[in-house]
Structure 1
Amino acid sequence: MIILVHDNNKVVALLNAGLEPMDVSFDKHIATALIAVAKQFPETLIIWCHKAFVNSINTDLLHSIFHHKRILASYNPSELNYLPNQIGYVDREFYLKINKTVSYPTWVTSSNIGGVNSSVINSLVNQLNPKVSFDYFLISLAKRAMVNGLFCYSEPKLLKTNTSVLIETPKASTSDLFLFVKQHYKWVWVFFLSMCYFVYERKIVLFPLLKSLFFKRLSQDLNLEGVVVESTKSIIEKKTIDVIIPTIGRKEYLYDVLKDLASQTLLPKNVIIVEQNTLSGSVSDLHYLKTEDWPFTIKHTFTHQSGVVNARNIALSQVTSEWVLLGDDDNRFDQFLIEQLFSQILCYGVASGLTVYLQPHEKQTFFKTGQTPIFGGGNAIIKSSLLNTISFNPKYEFNYGEDTDFGMQIRLSGEDVAFFSDIKITHLKAPIGGYRTIVKQRWVDDIIQPKPSPTIQLLYQTYYTDQQLLSYKLLLGLRSYKHSAIKNPMTYIKHFNKQWQRSQFWSSKL
């Protein structure tokens, strides 16, 4: 391990693991020095930190934080980051509203303290620009590499718990922000960013906008395949798994799912089925659960209460194994599914993972395993200990957002969700699926219908920053205008604002 110490402007020292100076020449420019050190020491962990944090480095936990080579972790004790909050006008993902009390997945990095394996820097060296400020260098690296398999975190454990040091975080200018957007997003977003500044802050940012147009978007296709992932984290102990399946009216499809589970090279311990039928006096028609022999225990619950959120929570309350696979009653998969899931969990050291989940006519377009901002209730594996603090939120029942909310609960608890690009579950999307009970929403009789759906409003209010929520509102309003019968712009704006207010009202009532 090598520690690169800086004062925001230049490197002031290189230290070894014992915090002793190293007799190695180094460039004063921080990013250049980082690249040079990575080249000279190709298989080591490089830690960077501001000189104010040198004595606060939590060296005892560095091995557990960087448990495989494709991890970049940093931490900023301050609530203010390098990029201003206005980055939320552009970015749509759940990586900006960071929980700084736990390990949290995000590309928002900090020069205060952080680290990465030198093999990552060496693999990407031709895609890096050391001439920019160190914070810009780091955040550009994380933003582009995260979607290509680099696991990026805000990690408070980098500092000792009794650390009370605070320093002034370097701040990006408005021009830096526009440059970052132009280099890391599609070109149209710099114009949308300027529109948000005008609409919400009454500012005209013409010069930063024009200046950014002279720059090209940086390559987003970074290759980390040469950095082998082999986690040292002890994430699996018993290697037991339960499978939960909510079902309603899909007798034949569910039978096929059970047959696929029965053929697994690593069998589940329990298959937990929650069958729903709202008809009074109805009984289960899943006779094959008892008439056939299955190589696992089937826990079957029959309920007249409909709703996938309720069904999943009933099933999750019956889980007894170390891991649980969240499934659906119209999935198909090969005999190696569970074995492959455990292999990837062990490799990446994560507590939750998603598979590829496509319909038969769809083709896979993304092939890189890594962090993901999404979550799916029909194709996910999670460690069962997480169920002590998380569950599916009944506020989302009979609407949208429950899967995303569940995934966010995982991340806010300090765990991560990975996407396994080489494990596939086919989603048949059976025609008799979905919400087959007609549910009258409380807002259906409103004269002014809420927009967006109150559950989506609730989701974004919970997990978006203020700027992300405002940006979503503006974008939704612009897109809805094309399909609106109201063509007078001023009349439409008034009407849309009323719809937004009704959405906020009902989201607060959920």
Structure 2
Amino acid sequence: MIFHFLKYIKPIWYFNLKPEVDYAYFPSEELLDKYGVDLALDANFVSDIAQRRDLAWRGFQLGCIQTTGETGMDIWRDEHIPLEDEYCFLRKYFHKAWVFYVLVIRLTLFHNPLKELKAFFKTQHIKRLAMYKNHIPYKDYESFASDLIIKRPLVSIVIPTLNRYEYLKNVFKDLERQTYKHFEVIVVDQTDDFKEEFYLGWNLDLKYWHQKEKALWRARNEAIALAKGDYILLYDDDSRVEVNWIEQHLKTLDFFKADVSSGVSLSVVGAEIPEHYSYFRWSDQLDTGNVLLKKSIFEKVGYFDRQFEGQRMGDGEFGLRCYLAGYKNISNPKAKRMHLKAEQGGLRQMGSWDGWRPKKLFGPRPVPSVLYLTRTYFGKILTLYFVLQGIMPSLVSYKFKNSRVLKLISFCLIPLFLPFVLVQVLISWRLSTHKMNKGIWW
């Protein structure tokens, strides 16, 4: 872990775990100089190791992606970082509320209060850095002539759908207009009132079948297994894309010599759009609503884990497997989609669309698949930090999760709801244990 205090704020971040292959994810000062990235060591950090790790963190966040085979800084090696530097790191990159949150946790866990408070107040002068404005632009990308596009590999677009014909109609219209034409479309339709006539008359290489079982990951797995393409493009049925969407995915794979192109998803519902969605960087997630990857990846890491059926984070778990196995995943702003988040159909209908807000008083919080993932890969301690972090915002309706006022109200309500929340977490923990005992399957 690049800084130890990151475990309190980003406990289940992919890059907390060491992958089989390091593509200089966290570049050293020497590599940054080689790439022509003008970053300087920060003298606000008292130790040399903290200065160098801070530099590597900035290189990662600003989109430093190497394609020539170097190895970066080994941030997974456990090294002592002074307490003052840990707080300095938090203040530099995170909101002051998070810094206070970490202090409270540290004091609650009986760390030396004098040392904690001294480091906390000693770093008060550190201002939060608005770093995303200085990201690496990759000016050569626009003029890059992609050999991969010239070779015209077959792309298999996989779309599971459930009771969303009105949305699927626009999906097909967008696909008909694509500038890249060598693709097939595979639709696994789980709609209650299946309408075969809907699929007639489209100017697409279209394959489809009706699946009676409401099972998202089964649908994707079977479609991928039958796909003829060397590249799989996973897509959601309630999305809209631009005409060069497929082309931009392929171009990004070629430009960065990558294995996975994670197109960004934009939405007017839910969380704010992160600033880093506007430029290329290493991706720390995999969204099956908009991602292109080599089909050969499934041969090494396996298919989607069906333990996530009807629940959450199945794509996140698969993305983590890809990362750990050494596959390069690029966050791609050029292949964006508009996620409409339809109120009917899809995962909303077949299971838990929201992983943290149970519909019943004694329903599991979060859904068991979330703890199944975190406990399997990150262990008990980081899982507990993750649960603690997720409880407070989950007391607010998903539509209002970004309201600071409601977040404050939910914080005040925690003592009132704490007994119920603890029971919900224990229920989820028990159910996730059953999943862990069963293990991955597809």
Q: TM-score, normalised by structure 2?
A: 0.77
SS of 1:321's equivalent? coil
- Structure 2 counterparts to residues 396-475 of structure 1, below 5 A: 396-435=308-347, 437=349, 448-464=362-378, 466-475=380-389
SS of 1:344's equivalent? helix
For 2:173, the equivalent position in structure 1 comes to: 259
Q: Separation in 2 of the partners of 1:485 and 1:226?
A: 40
| Structure 1 residue 425: Cα displacement | 2.2
Q: Are the equivalent residues in 2 in contact too, given 1:82–1:170 (CA < 8 A)?
A: no
Q: Are the equivalent residues in 2 in contact too, given 1:235–1:349 (CA < 8 A)?
A: no
Alignment of 1:380 with 2:295, yes or no, is no
For 2:400, the equivalent position in structure 1 comes to: none
SS of 2:333's equivalent? strand
Q: Are the equivalent residues in 1 in contact too, given 2:47–2:85 (CA < 8 A)?
A: no
Q: Are the equivalent residues in 1 in contact too, given 2:313–2:369 (CA < 8 A)?
A: yes
- Structure 2 counterparts to residues 220-231 of structure 1, below 5 A: 220-221=131-132, 223-225=134-136, 228=139
Code of the residue aligned with 1:102 in structure 2: it is V
SS of 1:459's equivalent? helix
Q: CA RMSD in A?
A: 4.0
SS of 2:134's equivalent? coil
Q: Are the equivalent residues in 1 in contact too, given 2:148–2:254 (CA < 8 A)?
A: yes
For 2:119, the equivalent position in structure 1 comes to: 208
For 1:78, the equivalent position in structure 2 comes to: none
| Structure 1 residue 384: Cα displacement | 0.9
The alpha-carbon distance between structure 1 residues 249 and 83, as it changes in their structure 2 partners (threshold 3 A), is: closer
Alignment of 1:89 with 2:89, yes or no, is no
The alpha-carbon distance between structure 1 residues 92 and 106, as it changes in their structure 2 partners (threshold 3 A), is: farther
| Residue number among 81, 98, 102 corresponding to 1:172 in the alignment | 81
Q: Separation in 1 of the partners of 2:94 and 2:203?
A: 51
| Structure 1 residue 432: Cα displacement | 3.3
**Structure 1 unpaired stretches of 5+:** 1-80, 160-167
Q: How many residues are treated as equivalent by the alignment?
A: 406
For 2:238, the equivalent position in structure 1 comes to: 330
| Structure 1 residue 269: Cα displacement | 3.2
SS of 1:191's equivalent? helix
Higher helix content, 1 or 2: 2
| Structure 1 residue 465: Cα displacement | 5.7
For 1:504, the equivalent position in structure 2 comes to: 429
**Greater RCO, 1 or 2 (C-alpha within 8 Å, sep 6+):** 2
The alpha-carbon distance between structure 1 residues 240 and 172, as it changes in their structure 2 partners (threshold 3 A), is: same
Q: TM-score, normalised by structure 1?
A: 0.68
The alpha-carbon distance between structure 1 residues 171 and 274, as it changes in their structure 2 partners (threshold 3 A), is: same
Higher strand content, 1 or 2: 1
| Greater radius of gyration (CA) | 1
Code of the residue aligned with 2:33 in structure 1: it is S
The alpha-carbon distance between structure 1 residues 427 and 268, as it changes in their structure 2 partners (threshold 3 A), is: farther
Q: Separation in 1 of the partners of 2:391 and 2:214?
A: 34
**Structure 2 unpaired stretches of 5+:** 396-407, 436-442
Give the percent of matched residue pairs that are identical in Structure 1 and Structure 2. 22
After TM superposition, the structure 1 stretch with the greater mean CA deviation from structure 2, 175-184 or 220-229, is 220-229
Q: Are the equivalent residues in 1 in contact too, given 2:9–2:389 (CA < 8 A)?
A: no
Q: Are the equivalent residues in 1 in contact too, given 2:63–2:280 (CA < 8 A)?
A: yes
SS of 1:287's equivalent? helix
* CA deviation string 1:110-134 (max 9, x = no partner): x7xx851425455334x85598544
Q: Separation in 1 of the partners of 2:2 and 2:284?
A: 22
- Structure 2 counterparts to residues 96-175 of structure 1, below 5 A: 96-103=15-22, 107=26, 116-118=31-33, 120=35, 122-125=37-40, 128-129=42-43, 133-151=47-65, 170-175=79-84
Q: Separation in 2 of the partners of 1:275 and 1:323?
A: 21
SS of 2:242's equivalent? coil
Q: Separation in 1 of the partners of 2:269 and 2:291?
A: 21
After TM superposition, the structure 1 stretch with the greater mean CA deviation from structure 2, 98-107 or 395-404, is 98-107
| Structure 1 residue 336: Cα displacement | 1.8
